[in-house]
Amino acid sequence: MKILITGGTGYIGSHTAIELINQGHDVTIVDNLINSKKTVLEQITKLTGTKPKFYHVDLTNRTATNQIFQENHFDLVIHFAGLKAVAESVEKPLLYYRNNITGTINLLEAMQANQVNNFIFSSSATVYGNPGTPKYTENLPTGQNISSPYGKTKYMIEEIMKDAAASNPNFCAIALRYFNPIGNHPSGLLGENPNGIPNNLMPIITKVYRGQISKLSVYGHDYPTPDGTCRRDYIHVVDLAKGHLAAISVLKPGFEAYNLGTGQPASVLEIIHAFEKISDQPLPHKFAPRRPGDLPEFWADPTKAIKELNWHAKLTIDDAIRDTLTFINQS
């Protein structure tokens, strides 16, 4: 298949590009490089033997986005491009709505104008808001009590996808709702390397390990969880990337959503202890107040993906930490 990956030099997009190229797909990447580097293309080339075609384009530029579709005949678009920092989205909601929503509308319009009808979107567990149960199944209501503008953009884009599918009998749309991706390619050539200060747990842990941050703040240790710290469903990014491949095979007219998670939650302290064991070093940390907006715990019910996509997460948190250490020690 000829596939356009938006945000393909980013963390999850680049790992997915590798899996797709290795399965023989013809991959083109578009990215504005706001949160990634062009050198990622060289790493993808090293790991696959193929250099993907690249467009340095911002999806909020409607004309430039449309131009990409006029120059190529894609079978499928996998849409990763977006801003994703939860706290920043609270400070700059309009930036998030413009970038994520306008960018997606430009993309969908360009697809429609050029008869491209297959669409897979990077959604998030955040669309469930605060549903009152920690185990998320796809049939829970979405859009209620979402705490950040970032999360709302994910929900709104899913709604846009549903309406687009309802208006076009040929439009095949899948939302993949990711849980907490960690780890990187086992070669260590490619990893999570955000521009600026990281927000997520594992990139912060790696900064502490490297001595770039003195201590990890554990946000809250009085939650109603087994050890008092929050629990999340951490999924290896390579498993997540493979979930996209599996989703391609079930594309059909209409809208479908799938949770991509392991189904097993782990606490912040469990992650710290696993990191200490595998790195064979203490990871300096301290308890800090709860972070506003954090839920005590949630994890995926991955049953639908297991049954319909014939996919399940195979790698462990220890694998992810080992691969993260390989990446850190090489960069």
Q: Does 219 engage in binding with ligand WQD (CB under 6 A)?
A: yes
User: Of 23, 29, 121, whose CA–CA distance to 78 is shortest?
Assistant: 121
Q: Does 230 engage in binding with ligand WQD (CB under 6 A)?
A: yes
| Rounded-to-integer distance, Cα 126 and Cα 130, Å | 8
Q: Which of ligand NAD, ligand WQD, none has residue 232 at its interface (CB below 5 to 8 Å by kind)? A: ligand WQD
**What Cα–Cα distance (Å) separates residue 213 from each residue in 70, 131, 210, 283, 289?**
46, 34, 8, 11, 18
Q: Does 60 engage in binding with ligand NAD (CB under 6 A)?
A: yes
Q: Restricting to residues 154-213, name those near ligand NAD by CB under 6 A.
A: 178, 180-181, 200
Q: Does 264 engage in binding with ligand WQD (CB under 6 A)?
A: no
Pick one of 84, 185, 242, 244: the residue that binds ligand WQD (CB under 6 A). 84
| Rounded-to-integer distance, Cα 75 and Cα 92, Å | 35
Query: What phi and psi values does residue 3 have, to the nearest 5 degrees?
Result: -120, 130
Q: Find the shortest distance in angstroms from Cβ 20 to ligand NAD.
A: 15
Structure-token match 């075609």, residue found: 53
Pick one of 11, 69, 128, 298: the residue that binds ligand NAD (CB under 6 A). 11
Q: Does 115 engage in binding with ligand WQD (CB under 6 A)?
A: no
To the query of whether residue 150 is one of the catalytic residues in this protein, the response is yes
Q: Which residues share a beta bridge with 219?
A: 288
Sign of the CA dihedral with 168 first, then 174, 177, and 181 last? negative
Q: Give the nearer residue to ligand WQD in terms of CB position, either 204 or 328.
A: 204
Q: Does 124 engage in binding with ligand WQD (CB under 6 A)?
A: yes
Options 24-32, 165-173, 197-205, 318-326: segment touching ligand WQD (CB under 6 A): 197-205
Neighbours of 81 (CB within 10 A): 29
Q: Give the nearer residue to ligand WQD in terms of CB position, either 101 or 204.
A: 204
Asked whether 195 and 35 are in contact (CB, 8 A), the reply is yes
Q: Does 291 engage in binding with ligand WQD (CB under 6 A)?
A: yes
Asked whether 137 and 299 are in contact (CB, 8 A), the reply is no
Locate 286 and state its tokens: 């301290």
Q: Find the shortest distance in angstroms from Cβ 85 to ligand WQD.
A: 9
Q: Which of ligand WQD, ligand NAD, none has residue 34 at its interface (CB below 5 to 8 Å by kind)? A: ligand NAD
Query: What phi and psi values does residue 284 have, to the nearest 5 degrees?
Result: -60, 130
Q: What secondary structure does DSSP assign to 114-165, as a single string?
A: TT--EEEEEEEGGGG-S-S-SEE-TTS--SSS--SHHHHHHHHHHHHHHHHH
**x/- letters, 40..79, toward ligand WQD (CB under 6 A):** ----------------------------------------
Q: Which residue is nearest to ligand WQD (CB)?
A: 230
Query: What phi and psi values does residue 283 have, to the nearest 5 degrees?
Result: -110, 105
Locate 128 and state its tokens: 């469930």
Pick one of 28, 35, 104, 117: the residue that binds ligand NAD (CB under 6 A). 35
Q: Does 294 engage in binding with ligand WQD (CB under 6 A)?
A: yes
Q: Determine which one of 11, 96, 136, 150 is catalytic.
A: 150
Q: Does 225 engage in binding with ligand NAD (CB under 6 A)?
A: no
Asked whether 105 and 81 are in contact (CB, 8 A), the reply is no
Residues at the interface with ligand NAD (CB under 6 A): 7, 9-13, 31-36, 58-60, 80-84, 99, 103, 122, 124, 178, 180-181, 200
Residues at the interface with ligand WQD (CB under 6 A): 84, 86, 124, 126, 151, 180, 199-201, 204, 216-219, 230, 232, 268, 291, 294
Q: Which residues are catalytic?
A: 150
